[in-house]
Each structure stands twice: as C-alpha cells, then as structure tokens.
Amino acid sequence: MKMTPLITSAVMHFGEMGSRWGFNRTVGQILALIVLNDEPISAQEIADALNISRGNTSMGLKELQSWRLIKQHLVPGERKEFFIPAGDIWTLANRVFEERRKREIDPTLSLLRDLLLDEPANGTEVGAQEKLSEIHDLLESITAWSEELQNLGPEKLNTLMKLGSGVGRMLDLKDKILPGKNSVN
Amino acid sequence: MKMTPLITSAVMHFGEMGSRWGFNRTVGQILALIVLNDEPISAQEIADALNISRGNTSMGLKELQSWRLIKQHLVPGERKEFFIPAGDIWTLANRVFEERRKREIDPTLSLLRDLLLDEPANGTEVGAQEKLSEIHDLLESITAWSEELQNLGPEKLNTLMKLGSGVGRMLDLKDKILPGKNSVN
DNA sequence: TTAAACTTTCAGTAACTTCTGAAACTTCAA
DNA sequence: TTGAAGTTTCAGAAGTTACTGAAAGTTTAA
C-alpha cells in the first residue's frame, strides 16, 4: 500500500471530517482509503497504512458495511478478505444521506407523532402542540422529498441541480404543463 | 416556567437528538424550550426548568445565537434578557442546514480544490484525483442547490416538495417549457 | 461611586467516546 | 484433527467533550 502525499492529505482530512459526517476518525480514514484505491485492499493493509490496531480496523470495516458504503471482494485463491467501495460516488453519498436521515429524523418523527396524539392538557400545551405539529410536517416533507430524489436517479438529479434558478420559473409554469389530475392541490 | 409532561418529553428528546443535529444535549434542550414557549424566557428560568447550571445555560444561549436560532428580546423596564426563537420553524430549519453545510461541506470543498491543483505524481495519483474530482463536483452541486432552495422561499419550496414524483415528469418536459437560452447545456 | 442584579468566563471534574492489544473464535489445508 | 492464517470481541487506557460552580465582569439605579 502506497499512500502518496496526495492520498495521505485526503485520507487525513476525511478522518477529521468523519465525526461531522456521522462516523468517527478512523472510520472516515478507512473509507477514504478504500474509495481512493483502485485496487481492492485488505484489512491488514489498511491497518498498516493508517497505523491503527487490527481490532480498530475490524470495527471500522464493520461500521462501514453497516452503512453499506463498502463491500467485500473475494479474490479467488486468497483466504483473506478485500474491500472495495459499494458503488460510485453518487451511490455512496445517497447512502450517507439515507443513513443519517434514519438517525437524525426518523426517531423525532416517531416521537412527534406520539405526542400529537395526546389531548392537550391546557392552554400552554395547545400552543406547544401547534409548534410540534409544524415541526412534524416539515420533517415529513423532508423525508418524502429525499426519497423522491433518490428515485430520480443520478442523471435526472444532476439535471435538476444544474437547473438552478430555473426551478423557480418552472414552478410558476407547472400548472400549465402538468394536466390538472396531476396537480397537487 | 411550567414544563408540562408533554413539553418535558419534547424537550428531553430534543436534548438526546441534539448531538446528532450538530449541537450538544443542553443546547438542544434550551432550543426546544425556547421554541415551545409562547412567552419570552430568561436565562435563569431556563436554568431552573432544565436543572442545569447558570454557566452552562449562558454557554448554550451563546451557541444558539451563533447559529442564529434564537434572539434576544428586551422587555422594557426589565433588566434581564429574555430569549425567543429567531423565526418560524422553516427559518430555523434553514439556518441549521446552512450552518451544518459550513461545517460539514465547505472545509472539504476547499481542501479538494487545493489537492486538484497539484500535478499527479504518478499513476496511482491520477486515479485518486479522478475520484476526488468527482467528490468535488458532487459537493459543489449540493452547495449550489441548497443555496437555490433557500432563495425559493418557504411557499415555493413547499410546492416543490409536495410535487413528489411530478418532478421527474417536469424534468422530461423542461426543454419544451424553458426557452433555449435558459437551458443549462 | 456604590452596590445590587444580572451575565460571562474558565479551571477542574465528570461523563462519554474511541482505540489498543491480547484472548477467543473461525476457517481451511494438510 | 491439528495448526496456521486469518477475523472478531472486549476490558481497560487514552483522549475528547460537556458541565459545574465560583470568581470576574457588566450594567444600571440611586
């Protein structure tokens, strides 16, 4: 395993950012290493390249598999396991979004649903429930929307993103182009 | 300060989720309390309601102000400061997104730009740079896109979100409805 | 100009998270 | 069936982050 200066910088940076992205330092480093390597790479090579313990490496690989960001790659005739990214960059980014949605939004949505079922006990609670209901609706929209975007697939998503301010104009025209039965309200 | 069971549940939950949303437990609790209270609330009331030290409360309030999620509300004739949310739920959600983008995406974008300026030293680096460039483009799209969405404003954003799978159909038609000079490619 | 009412800062401690390395486990070839 | 080559688990050490409470700072009214 090489680790040229360029790759080292990138790997170290992904380590630092790891915790902000939802995993820890070594998990971030391992992911960067696997993504940037054209070759499949073994757990031992990862541990050596990053100078981390074999145990920590194993935990990290398990974590990345649970996020579905990497997958095993069995080399015929080799006993040990090699690892490669679970897809292209778009796929990986999608998986990160999805996983974070599960951790950051879903639990709150489910609590809010429960809280909104209770009858408000007094005036204070009426006001609070209104706020909670707004938050609930917002989170539901975000969830529905992010599922929608995933279904679009990379190419259309790219078209949409590049559309930029055109989106606003398109929305103004939507009722003209989408027949009534498809309109939302 | 009351803290009915409903409000207590919500506040505690926002505390638990706080760390996943980019701030810590008490900061999450303080935010929930301020948002759910119809009345402006003072630092001392917050400390009492949440059973946390006055010092911690002060830190938390400062943090929330740096995120632009709450603002001070001066009551005439009262010496102490009261706090209220910095806007409606949509505004608050936007601020959280924006702040997180700054922390989670911008630093990586700037590193990637630097790394892509270097000439690749060998074959390994050529491959790695291609990957880094893909990541760079993706992050730029996300950034541009999220700025775009903020400019749309809440109502249009809502229309767009509710449009659901209609988005795909609209994209198919976009060249017909947006004149050539506006098309992206 | 003083002192009362409040806010902020910060050193030290408590709580939590990550990492190591040794032991336990698994798989396979001989 | 043994043991060599590998993987996983986990208790405790190291590192990190959050919290308290006391001291310092600020503002205002008298």
What predicted TM-score, i.e. pTM, was given to this entire model? 0.89
Chain B 4-23 residues whose Cβ is under 7 Å from strand C: 19
Amino acid type, B62: K
Residue B64, judged by CB atoms within 10 A of its CB (0-12, 13-18, 19+), counts as buried
Q: B48 with B16, same domain?
A: yes
User: What is the bridge-based pairing of β-strands A82-85 and A41-42?
Assistant: antiparallel
Taking the CA of residue B77 and the nearest CA in chain A, the distance in Å comes to 25
Residues A20-62 have pLDDT tens digits of 998 999 999 999 999 999 899 999 999 999 999 999 999 999 9
Q: B80 with B13, same domain?
A: yes
Instruction: Flag whether B121 is in a domain.
Output: yes
Q: At A83, give phi and psi (nearest 5°).
A: -125, 145
Residues A158-181 have pLDDT tens digits of 787 777 777 777 777 766 666 554
Question: What domain range is B77 assigned to?
Answer: 5-86
Which of A94-98, A150-154, B125-129 comes out lowest in average pLDDT? A150-154
Instruction: Flag whether A126 is in a domain.
Output: yes
Q: B25 with B68, same domain?
A: yes
CATH code for the domain in which residue A33 is found: 1.10.10.10
Query: Which of A5, A21, A174 faces B104 most closely, judged by CB atoms?
Result: A21
Query: Best residue in B104, B116, B118, B124 to probe A by mutation, most A CBs within 10 Å?
Result: B124
CB-CB contact of A58 with A83 (8 Å): no
Contacts of A24 (CB under 8 A, 6+ apart): A18
User: What is the bridge-based pairing of β-strands B41-42 and B70-73?
Assistant: unpaired
Residues B91-112 have pLDDT tens digits of 999 999 999 999 999 999 999 9
